[in-house]
Amino acid sequence: MHWLIKCRARPAIDELRVATLPAHTRFLDGYPEVTWYSGPLFTDDNKNAIGSLRLIEFPDRAAANAYINADPYTKAGIFESISIERWRPTLDVRQRDYPRKPNTMQFVIHAHDKADGATRRAPLRETHHAYLDRHPHLFIARGPLLDDDGKQTIGSLILVDVADKAEAEAFWTNEPFNRAGVYERATMERWRFGHV
């Protein structure tokens, strides 16, 4: 199973984060085979770290929870909140193999369906896939968010590699599911390739 782990940092923890970074990096080194993507979330100007995002494989939610609770960042109290969601990768490319592009920015689009999301998705599925197929150069990783049983789609996760936020916003504005109101809420945040 694959999991999205998104951590939001407490405010004013830069000094603590820097002090804990070596232990955090050593911790990440213990999970190279199961980590698909890992990196910090930043403010749009890329100056202030505000959390982290990881896409990682574990057999169940309990294992994913144990992993993030063992992270030195978690133990040091850096995170204000932690969310764990089941995710299914659509692309079979991991961070270690992703070809980096010069002078680009990365953003994560994290969207959750409305209660009737499945009904709204159904007639748009072909249009949605056709739209994604027209933009393959944008994607680092993407795939649906699922309930823990893996039976129901509850949202979407997309990592994009773009010239600037305007390009990411233009893509998202015209994305068929988003345009048709499938999502109850969605965020777009600056992300950076981190240590894996």
pLDDT at 21: 96
The 10s digit of each residue's pLDDT in 114-168 is: 999 999 999 999 999 999 999 999 999 999 999 999 999 999 999 999 999 999 9
CATH of segment(s) 95-191: 3.30.70.1060
pLDDT at 47: 87
Q: CB count, 10 Å around CB of 48? A: 14
Q: Which CATH class is domain 2-87?
A: alpha beta
Residues 62-89, mean pLDDT to the nearest whole number: 98
Q: What is the pTM of this model?
A: 0.95
Tokens coding 189: 């945040």
Fold agreement between 2-87 and 95-191: yes
pLDDT at 72: 98
The 10s digit of each residue's pLDDT in 50-75 is: 999 999 999 999 999 999 999 999 99
Name the residue ranges covered by the structural domains of the chain: 2-87, 95-191
